[in-house]
Amino acid sequence: MTAFFHVRPSRRFIISAFVFTVFIWLFYLAVIARHNNQGHLMIPVDDGFHNVTLFNEADPMKDIKVLALRELVSERNLQAIKRLKDLSNIKVFRYVMVVQVHDRKTYIKAMLESLAGLRNIRDALVIFSHDVVDEEIDSLPFTVSKSFETVQIYFPHSLQLHPDRFPGTCPEDCPDRVGKAEATKRRCLFHDHPDTYGNYRTPRLTQVKHHWWWKVRKTFRASKSYIDDSGRRNMSLKKKFSNFPTSF
């Protein structure tokens, strides 16, 4: 330590800067390792936890933003369960309506207006399942909150939360219409397993199906656990369609 103070000031500054940089980098690696090894961000997926591998040397800030979004989604899904429990203690719903939401705000606004005009809508619980975290979209259901009760849940395996890895777009994925011969030549992921029509996975399309199955399983299990099912009707709605006042 004494020898360090005998080094010229300019060299001492360079050494100090280097040590500080190494310390910051090691701290970042420790944060990433903790998230990857201890519960993988603790995003609940029904019976376990979703395993993620997250490390982007080209843009580490992107990883941090994605981590923050995942934790936000996890927290909001826990809040949704709490809200379901609270609602079940004060009201019995005859209808549970589930809406799968992406990012088309015009469609969502039109659907909300039509829902507010339904007869007996006060007997319904409407669950909105999102695959995009967007504050403006998230706030839309509150515009009709006086007409009926709402709960919002968030698909934890969306492209937004997995931008560089499955189920999002992985750099090693085969292009969807590349053809098996070319895919085999490129040795891209799952080149031996195209679909029935010879195409490969398109993440933005498969997300819709993955979200649909997750939404159905999640909402049916939740409604069975927290909502009285005597005489209850479950309905799945598409955001593109309006509803007649007599739909019930």
Same domain, 11 and 132: no
**Model pTM above 0.75:** no
Cis peptide before 163 (omega within 30 of 0): no
Measured between alpha carbons, how far apart are the two ends of the chain, in Å? 80
Same domain, 11 and 51: no
Round to whole Å and give the CA distance between 103 and 140. 12
**Is 207 assigned a ligand-binding role in the annotation?**
yes
**Is 31 assigned a ligand-binding role in the annotation?**
no
Looking at the DSSP assignment, which residues form a beta bridge with residue 173?
A: 189
Same domain, 60 and 77: yes
Give Cβ neighbours of residue 201 (< 8 Å, ≥ 6 apart): 173, 174, 176, 190
**Is 59 assigned a ligand-binding role in the annotation?**
no
Round to whole Å and give the CA distance between 52 and 32. 11
Q: What is the pLDDT along the chain (248 residues), one digit of tens a residue?
A: 555 445 555 666 666 767 677 666 666 555 554 444 433 333 333 333 334 444 444 555 677 888 999 999 999 999 999 998 888 888 888 888 899 999 888 888 888 888 888 888 888 889 999 999 999 999 988 887 678 889 999 999 999 999 888 888 888 889 988 898 998 999 988 889 898 888 998 999 999 999 999 999 888 887 776 565 655 566 666 665 666 566 66
pLDDT in the model for residue 221: 81
Same domain, 176 and 60: yes
Residue 243 lies in a domain: no
Considering only the C-alpha atoms of the chain, give the largest distance between any 2 of them, rounded to a whole number of Å: 87
pLDDT in the model for residue 239: 60
Same domain, 1 and 90: no
**Is 131 assigned a ligand-binding role in the annotation?**
yes
Same domain, 30 and 89: no
Give Cβ neighbours of residue 17 (< 8 Å, ≥ 6 apart): none
Residue 214 lies in a domain: yes
Round to whole Å and give the CA distance between 224 and 69. 29
Considering only CA atoms, which of 129, 201, 130 is closest in space to residue 166?
201
Same domain, 8 and 112: no
Same domain, 127 and 196: yes
Residue 248 lies in a domain: no
Give Cβ neighbours of residue 66 (< 8 Å, ≥ 6 apart): 54, 161, 162, 163
**Is 210 assigned a ligand-binding role in the annotation?**
yes
Same domain, 31 and 74: no
Q: What domain range includes position 90? A: 41-237
**Is 209 assigned a ligand-binding role in the annotation?**
yes
Q: Which residues of 57-91 are buried (b: 16+ CB within 10 A; e: fewer)?
A: eeeeeebeebbebbeebbeebeebbebbeebbeee
Q: How many domains does the chain have?
A: 2
Q: Are 193 and 91 in contact (CB under 8 A)?
A: no
Same domain, 54 and 172: yes
Give the strand pairing for 48-49 and 44-45: antiparallel
Residue 242 lies in a domain: no
**Is 38 assigned a ligand-binding role in the annotation?**
no
pLDDT in the model for residue 105: 87
**Is 138 assigned a ligand-binding role in the annotation?**
no
Residue 12 lies in a domain: yes
Same domain, 212 and 190: yes
**Is 94 assigned a ligand-binding role in the annotation?**
no
Residue 230 lies in a domain: yes
Q: Which residues of 120-149 are buried (b: 16+ CB within 10 A; e: fewer)?
A: ebebbbbbbbbbebeeebbebbeebeebbb
Same domain, 51 and 18: no
**Is 152 assigned a ligand-binding role in the annotation?**
no
pLDDT in the model for residue 114: 85
Looking at the DSSP assignment, which residues form a beta bridge with residue 151?
A: 127
AA letter at 245? P
pLDDT in the model for residue 36: 44
**Is 204 assigned a ligand-binding role in the annotation?**
no
